[in-house]
Structure 1
Amino acid sequence: MTCKWRKLGVVFCPTGKSDWMRSHAAVPIAEHVRDDIFKIYFSTRDDSNRSYTAYVVIDINQPNNVLEISERPVLEPGSPGEFDDSGAMATWLTYYRSERFLYYIGWNLGVTVPFRNSIGLAVSGCQDDAFSR
C-alpha cells in the first residue's frame, strides 16, 4: 500500500535580513524538544553562497507558526583550506550516551570539479535539560 503525502505549505523561508542567512532553507532535520515542540535544523546561504546551519522552533500542530529562529549559526563554514570552508550543512542528528551528534556535509570549491563534499561531525556542548535523553 502506498501512502499519499499531503503538503501543508511553507514552514520557513529566510527573509534575507541576516548576513549569514540570506537565502535557502534546505536539508531540514527535525529534533523533538518536548511535547509538540520541534527544532528544525536547516542549511542556509550567505551572500557568497556559503552554507550555514540554522534552526527554527515550531509546534508540530501549527508548523507554519515559527516560535523561534536562531540568531547565530549552529554550524558555519570552516577556515580557508579546511574541508568545510565553503559550507557546513547538517544532515543527520543522533544521540549517544546523553550527547547529541550532528553529522554534516562539509564542502569546498574545487578546481577540476565545481565542489567536493565530505562528511563532518559536530558534538553539542550544550547540557540543556530539554534535550536530555
Structure 2
Amino acid sequence: MPDYKWTRKGLLLPVKAGHQWWASHAQSPTVLALSSRLWRIYFAGRDAGNLSSMMAVDVDPLDGMRILAEHLDAIMVPGPPGTFDSSGLGPSCALIIGGRIHLYYSGIYPRLDVRTQLAIGLAISDDGLTFERISPGPVRGIGPKDPYFVSTPFVSAIEGGYRMWYTSGTGWMDVDGSREPVYGIRSCISEDGILWETGSSLCLHEDADEGASLTRPWVTQGDDGMRLWYSRRGKQFRNGGNEAYRLFSRRINARGDIVGEAEPVIFSNSPVAGDFDSWMQAYGCVMQCASGEVMFYNGNGFGQDGIGWATRDLR
C-alpha cells in the first residue's frame, strides 16, 4: 500500500459563535479554487435553533491557508416551509460551468417517522457569494434507485457531460432505541449538470445488516490517477472507537469503476484525547497544491469545533 500519511495542522476555522446565522458547527467544508492564491471554503453553520445555513471563508493556499476574508452573513439560508431544504442546507461541491459557479448542496426537511429527509439542490452564482436556486425543488431526490434519501454530491466534468457521485440512503436501523440512517455511494450522469438521469449505478457500499455506512464522496485526479475519498462509520458510531467516522480512499480506473482495496487516511501525528478530532474524522475535501495535497475535514460532533486541515507531501 502506498504511504498515505498526512500531517494534521489543527483547526483552520474554529467556530465563532455570536453571529445571527452561526451559533455552532462548521460542517462539510467545500473548496472552490478561484485562483492560485484564492480558495473559497463553503461550509454549513448552525443557528441557535439548529438550522444550517451556508457561509464561506477565503484562504491563500500559498501562505499557510491564511484567511483572507470571512463571509459570515449567510450566503444561503433554509427555504420556505414545504420545500426540500426548509430545515437546513449544507454545501457539498462547487465548480465552474459556463463561467458561472454551480454549488451543489444537501437540503434537509423534516419527517414524522424518521428524523429528516434529504435531497440534492443546486444554486448558481456569478460572484460566488450571491446564489440563486435554479428551482424550488431538488435536482435529485428520492426515486427507484434511491428510495430513502440522497445527499452530499460531488460533480465533475466527463466526456459528453457530467458525473455525480452521491450518498444514497438504503434504510433506517434501530440502534440503542434510536433510528439511524444507513447509506452507500451511487453515481449518475447528466448532459448539462442540471437534469440528471433517473437511474444510477452503485459505486460503493458495505453490508447494510451490520449498519456500516459510507458518505461524502470527493474525487481527485492526481499522479496516481483518479481517487474517490469518502467517510465510513459503523453501527455504533456515536460511541466512538473503531465504529466512529473515519476517512478512506479508493482508486478509480479509466472507466470510472472503483478498484483496489480501501486505503485509510493515516495521520503521522495521530489525534489524542482532547483534540478537536480525537474520535471522529469525516467529510473530507481534498485539493491539489504545489507540494502535494491538502485535506479539509470535520472532527468530533460533525464539525462542532470547526474545520480542520491536514497536508500530505508528495515530493
Aligned to 1:57: 58
One-letter identity of the residue aligned with 1:50: L
* Structure label with greater radius of gyration: 2
Tell me the residue number matched to 2:5.
4
- Give the corresponding residue for 1:43: 44
Secondary structure at the aligned position of 2:22 is classed as coil
SS in 1 for 2:102: strand
Aligned 1:83-122 pairs, distance under 5 A? 83-122=84-123
Cα distance in structure 1, aligned partners of 2:128 and 2:27: 27
| Conserved? CA contact 2:31–2:93, under 8 Å | no
TM-score when normalising by structure 1 = 0.88
Aligned to 2:23: 22
Q: What CA deviation, in whole Å up to 9, does each residue of 1:84-125 have, x standing for no partner?
A: 011111101122111111000000121100011000000114
CA distance in 1: counterparts of 2:128 and 2:55, whole angstroms: 19
Aligned to 1:131: none
Aligned length: 127
Could you tell me which residue of structure 1 aligns to residue 68 of structure 2? 67
SS of equivalent to 1:70: strand
Q: Give the Cα separation in 1 of the matches to 2:126 and 2:80.
A: 21
Compared CA separation, residues 71 and 43, structure 1 to 2 (3 A): closer
| Structure 1 residue 38, shift from structure 2 partner | 1.1
Report the residue type matching 1:117 in the other structure: L
Q: Percent identity?
A: 28
- Are positions 1:79 and 2:80 aligned together? yes
Alpha-carbon distance in structure 2 between the residues aligned to 1:58 and 1:104: 21
Secondary structure at 2:12's aligned position in 1? coil
- Cα separation, partners in 2 of 1:17 and 1:127, compared to 1, 3 Å: closer
Structure 1's 125 and 59: CA in aligned 2 closer, same or farther, altered over 3 A? Answer: closer
- Measured against aligned partners, the alpha-carbon deviations of 1:17-73 in whole angstroms (never above 9, x if no partner) come to 10211111110011112232211111110011111110011112322x322111421
TM-score of the two chains, using structure 2 as the length reference = 0.39
Bigger proportion of residues as strand: 2
Give me the whole-angstrom Cα distance separating, in 1, the residues matched to 2:6 and 2:127. 35
